[in-house]
Structure 1
């Protein structure tokens, strides 16, 4: 039986600060630690006994947490705080410094709110906030779940002040596979685009691949890997999440067949019975938000069920606009929080967290689910071999393991085809899943 909110250990805070940013970060940190934070109020506490676990924030006292103006609604530039920090330091980066040391709560808010993404930046070719613009990559801590590190440090400090306080909640690290299905078949249901691609393959020397495009119905399609993936999931007791691209092909980057073939519809309904299904809003939705509603209605019509999860195609989103549009269309969980050009934790955490709309200064009903690495990033952006990519993912897994929670990867059904440069990745993925789940064996058929 799960504990209710009122059964959690209660930490009372005496402070003059009541800003929504402060309330938000206390809620997030409390959920991770398994504590409840409440504000001190003399009229509600006295004349009864004083709170058992009483601390202060930004006030004098032995049990005081340093306070940074960021949690009062002020602006902040972390450049000076990070100037002398090096990524080989064992301690987390010193964001939100005060005369009494770093304000870890403010540092957590800085990362979770994606504060830096609201500042001026130079977008990449797809209009995205690039990893190269983030302080985490520039200063070398993108591959660390620093929000979890800071939260653990707060927990240790509270326990040192109050030996009678129960230990923070501990969680195992659990692998969560997720897949973007941009194109279910490499050769079938491609229409004139498929024929044009076949001719191009022949003209550029890819004769075998070009011929396959014309005889694919009689052969095994290299992108149709769903039976292979479902076999792995059954072997390891995994519950994956699939995000389906169902655009009307408004943009050239939206390559799914349209209308959606009946064979694909069958697969979508079949997988929805045993896995979580989400929408993969098209590339075009970033420029035409009205398309989100159309695509959501399309996938719900196919599944005959409501869909409230999504991940943007090409990881293309801008804050706060994209998240507001998702909320307007009934999306309640988004899985886009990660980078295309780097691996690690974009928001500094592997835990899902509520999105805070920084412009409106309010917590929203949208839950953000971060991922640690994407297959295309590993091979195309970083230029890694299958073995090198496996090692990088396992390195991230080892870093996150002390903190527990979900460890999500973003993969594509198309990322196993040797014809398209993915030779050895199918075998690697089998090994990788075995390592991430504590088992060394899985079916490869």
Structure 2
């Protein structure tokens, strides 16, 4: 079963976004024609996407952005639309009052992240700079919501057509910047840490450090047994990202040549997926990234499929081009560390579109929708649960894939992360509810 789209010009942007909405989200094939005869002859699911309707067919009026190249100063006016928002309004002849394809392209391609804007001290794009935050729809996977509204409108026109159903799923990410707080740190770092504890009167930390080093106490960051037990109870695979890059101002991991660290990674890989947490200096340096990739492949003894950037830093399009050059297939960096929501407007994995080269790439982006840190804003457990249920319900509403990011230390007994095991369980159990 296939949807035929008539348009005045078949551009790479048009093909990209129609395939995402029709095939990835709605599960139907789509093809395109610029020939009116072919369109008329097709006696099945069809629509026109152009400036004017041909006759009285299912028609969505097109915005110019899908037929342009490069970046232009796009004028955006966000309006309320039923239970969500929309932009690129397109008049009353159109079956849908907004050009959802152009708007989806704008969000998925991260168009706004190429434009000049204020960044934070790590050079990251800020949630508060985004159109979704400014117009209060960051909390909704609007691309998926629009896709379902499009499906409903199509169904009214073609009532005999049965769309496939998809179901809600989760993809828990376990981020491991350092597997241990005290162990395997080497003599200099251990001594330095002890001196620092002493000068800051952190006697509790000093005591814990030596108890752990003498084997009398469990390292607080070593929560892997707990997480793997959770993995065994879940039918959804977790994905662990281990940092193995060199020690630096930004990354304070563990030397990846240490046998105990290597065996930990191998052990985790027996139960879950393992990816690379690219170090801060590997984000923009292909040589460093390649070295880390090869090192991780030696440890897991298979090709590296997925990566995530240190500190969730992304420089578009360079960061993603480097991953593509190294044939890394999936990325898990697209999200905001302090804000819950949908950075690219979607909870369906999508392919990266390179706006400079105007091509769809093979890199699959799994945006994350929630990082444990974003829940710390809420003081009480009740408020944390409320925020968590809100995002779960948004993803469930469109039967999408929820990607939460938790760290190994989040499951420690520290006061800061007190209720996070409970919150993680809520996510795992969300797939069993109706």
TM-score between the two structures when normalised by the length of structure 2: 0.91
CA 1:298–1:151: 2 relative to 1, 3 Å: same
In 2, the alpha carbon distance for the partners of 1:127 and 1:292 equals 19
Q: Which runs of 5+ in 2 are unaligned?
A: none
Between 342-351 and 263-272, report the one with greater CA deviation: 263-272
Q: Is the counterpart of residue 54 in structure 1 residue 51 in structure 2? A: no
Q: What is the distance in 1 between the residues matched to 2:414 and 2:196?
A: 14
Q: 1:16 to 1:264 in 2, by over 3 A?
A: same
Give the whole-Å Cα distance in 1 for the aligned partners of 2:139 and 2:160: 34
Structure 1 residue 175 displacement after superposition = 2.0
Structure 2 residue matching 1:51: 3-state secondary structure: coil
Deviation at 1:304, TM superposition (A): 1.9
Deviation of residue 306 (structure 1)?
A: 1.4
The equivalences for 1:21-420 within 5 A come to: 21-31=13-23, 32-40=25-33, 42=35, 45=38, 49-58=41-50, 59-60=52-53, 61-62=55-56, 63-73=58-68, 75=71, 80-82=76-78, 85=79, 90-100=82-92, 101-166=97-162, 168-191=163-186, 192-216=188-212, 217-249=215-247, 251-379=248-376, 382-419=377-414
Cα deviations by residue, 1:44-68 (Å, 9 ceiling, x for unpaired) = 849x954322321123233211100
Decide whether the 8 Å contact of 2:6 with 2:36 is kept in 1: no
Give the secondary-structure state (helix, strand or coil) at the position aligned to 2:31: strand
Could you tell me which of 9, 15, 37 is aligned with 1:17? 9
CA separation of 1:434 and 1:336: change in aligned 2, threshold 3 A: closer
Alignment check: 8 A CA contact 2:4 2:33 kept:
yes
* SS of residue matched to 2:278: coil
Give the superposition deviation at 1:377. 2.4
Q: Deviations over 1:378-403 (max 9, x none)?
A: 22xx3544443232121101111121
Contact 1:130–1:341, Cα closer than 8 Å, also in 2: no
Pairwise CA distance, 1:275:
1.3
SS across alignment from 2:397: coil
User: Contact between 1:236 and 1:437, CA under 8 Å: does it hold in 2?
Assistant: no
Instruction: Give me the whole-angstrom Cα distance separating, in 2, the residues matched to 1:35 and 1:76.
Output: 31
- Give deviations 1:73-103, integer Å, cap 9, x for gaps: 1656566412xx46xx643322112234311
Distance in 2 separating the partners of 1:103 and 1:264: 51
> Does the 8 Å CA contact 2:256/2:262 hold for their aligned counterparts?
no
Ranges in structure 1 where 5+ consecutive residues have no aligned partner: 1-8, 440-445
State the TM-score, normalizing by the size of structure 1.
Answer: 0.89
Q: Quote the Cα distance in structure 1 between the aligned partners of 2:343 and 2:256.
A: 35
**Matched residue pairs, number?**
421
